[in-house]
């Protein structure tokens, strides 16, 4: 968590990584998924949700790279 804070990743007060629906963090090109994020419902952490979010994050990263390549 210290590392996340050092690089400027936006976290909630209790340490969850803030993400939007594309699993984007506040830092372009950095994505997060699963239990550590604000996208996971509190009190209902499920592996299927984490895996689905991972797929969304991967797709977002792929599109980010495509945009970089122009």
Ligand X SMILES: Cc1cc2nc3c(=O)[nH]c(=O)nc-3n(C[C@H](O)[C@H](O)[C@H](O)COP(=O)(O)OP(=O)(O)OC[C@H]3O[C@@H](n4cnc5c(N)ncnc54)[C@H](O)[C@@H]3O)c2cc1C
Of 45 and 67, which CB lies nearer to ligand X in the complex structure? Answer: 45
Residues that bind ligand X (CB under 6 A): 34-35, 45-48, 50
Of 21 and 66, which CB lies nearer to ligand X in the complex structure? Answer: 21
Shortest Cβ distance from residue 50 to ligand X (Å)? 4
Burial class (CB in 10 A: 0-12, 13-18, 19+), 64: middle
Question: Of 3, 69, 70, whose CA–CA distance to 30 is shortest?
Answer: 3
Shortest Cβ distance from residue 29 to ligand X (Å)? 19
The residue written with tokens 């977002």 in the block is: 60
């Amino acid at each position: 968590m210290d590392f996340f804070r050092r690089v400027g990743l936006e976290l909630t007060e209790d340490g969850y990584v803030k993400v939007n629906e594309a699993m984007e963090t506040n830092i372009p090109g950095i994505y997060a998924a699963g239990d550590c994020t604000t996208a996971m419902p509190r009190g209902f952490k499920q592996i299927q949700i984490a895996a689905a979010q991972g797929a969304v994050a991967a797709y977002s990263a792929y599109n980010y790279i495509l945009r970089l390549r122009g």
